[in-house]
Amino acid sequence: MEPKPPERTVGGERKHPAGDTAAGEGRRARRHDPERRTRILDAALDVLVTDGAAGITHRKVAARADVPLGSVTYHFASLADLQAQAFAWYVEQQTAQFEDLFDEVRSRQDLVEVLVDLVQGGPSRRRSAVLGFELHLAALRDPALRTLTQQWTRDSRAVLSRFTGPEAAGRLDALLEGLIMHVLLAIEPEPREVTRAAIEQALGPLTTWRG
C-alpha cells in the first residue's frame, strides 16, 4: 500500500490545487516542486516529534523542509491547518505501515512477536509513537482531529480483530498504547518477556487462532 498525502481530510482549505509536472532542479531556487507539500508535511511531523505541539512554528518547519517561510504559509492556510494535515498524513502512513506489519503473521506466536516488536521497537519507532501521543493529546482539545484518531483506532482494531476477535482487539489496542508509553518513558529497558507476557494475557489464553 502506498500512502499519498491526504486530500484535505481535516481542517483548512488548500489555497491552490498544486501545480504538477516535474521541473528543472537546477537554476534558481526550486520553483515547481510538486513534492514540496509533502516535504513540508514531513518537516512538520519532524518538528512535532522534536519540539511537540508546543514548539511547532512556521519557521522551524520551513527550515526543516528547506523551503522559504512564505512557502509554508502559502501552502497551508494556518499553523493549525498545517498541523491537522500533517497529522492526517501521519495517520495515513501509519495505518498502511501497521497493516503491513501483519502481512507475514501466520500463527499466534507470529502475532505476539509482531506486537512485542511494535512495543519494544527501537528508536526508529520512537518517532511514530511520539506522534501518536501528540495526536491524541491534540485531539483532546480539537474536535476536528477527533476524526483522525477515530479512524486510526478503528483501523487498528480492524486489523487486530482479524486475529483476535473484536473484544480482544479493543483490549489489546489500549494495552499496546499504555505499554508503548511506558517503554518510551522507562529509564531501564523493559525486558521483552514482560511485554510478551502482558500481550499474551490480553490476547487471552483461550483465543482460538483466527489469522
- Positions touching DNA (CB under 7 A) are 15-19, 21, 23-24, 28-33, 36, 56-60, 67-71, 73-75, 77-80
Which partner from the list a copy of itself, DNA, none does 141 bind, CB cut-off 5 to 8 Å by kind? a copy of itself
Of 162, 164, 156, 170, which is closest to residue 206 (Cα–Cα)?
164
Alpha helix (H) residue ranges in the chain: 36-51, 58-65, 69-75, 79-101, 108-120, 123-141, 143-164, 166-185, 192-203
Axis-axis angle for helices 36-51, 58-65 (nearest 10): 120
Which partner from the list DNA, a copy of itself, none does 23 bind, CB cut-off 5 to 8 Å by kind? DNA
One character per residue 30-69, x = contact with a copy of itself (rule: CB under 8 A): ---------------------xxxxxx-------------
Biggest CA-to-CA distance, the chain: 65
Q: Does 134 bind a copy of itself (CB under 8 A)?
A: yes
Q: Does 201 bind a copy of itself (CB under 8 A)?
A: yes
Pick out residues in 170-199 that bind a copy of itself (CB under 8 A): 170-171, 173-179, 181-182, 184-185, 187, 194, 197-198
Record the cell numbers describing residue 109, joined without a space. Answer: 506466536
Among 167, 192, 209, 210, binds a copy of itself (CB under 8 A): 167
How far is the CA of 13 from the CAs of 3, 38, 62, in angstroms?
Answer: 20, 16, 19
Number of residues that bind a copy of itself (CB under 8 A): 40
Q: What region does 9 belong to: left with phi over 0, alpha with psi -120 to 50, or beta?
A: alpha
Task: State the residues that interact with a copy of itself by CB under 8 A.
Answer: 51-56, 130, 133-134, 136-141, 146, 149-150, 153, 167, 170-171, 173-179, 181-182, 184-185, 187, 194, 197-198, 201-202, 204
